[in-house]
Structure 1
């Protein structure tokens, strides 16, 4: 079974979210930039862009977020 859904072009409203839930999806993502702290609506998961400069930068970004709970200035994460 497919558990996740991606809103086309990130577009959704309460009617669309209800339809996604009614269809049986457990989580969904849009295009809103942000960090999820486990308290939000699983049908409105925010996302972060990943640096396109290589694995080392991605690891640094993940470590920075894990340490502080938010992206730091040392590793700028480009918006998507």
Structure 2
């Protein structure tokens, strides 16, 4: 289910959720799944997603998720 923006789900987590969902959908659809010309040929591997933020004291912080779509989903659960 899609994160709905309730107070306990961060904007970052919603963005990572959207990216992970999009990667899985592409892998499982006609091109990446069982299409006549792309049987399983779309796979995300070595993905690295970074978000840079400025903290309250003005310092930069970076949140990074890496890996394939499955690893990305597991990392998302840990946020």
Q: Same fold (TM over 0.5)?
A: no
Which TM-score applies when normalising by structure 2? 0.24
Which TM-score applies when normalising by structure 1? 0.24
Between structures 1 and 2, the one with greater strand share: 2
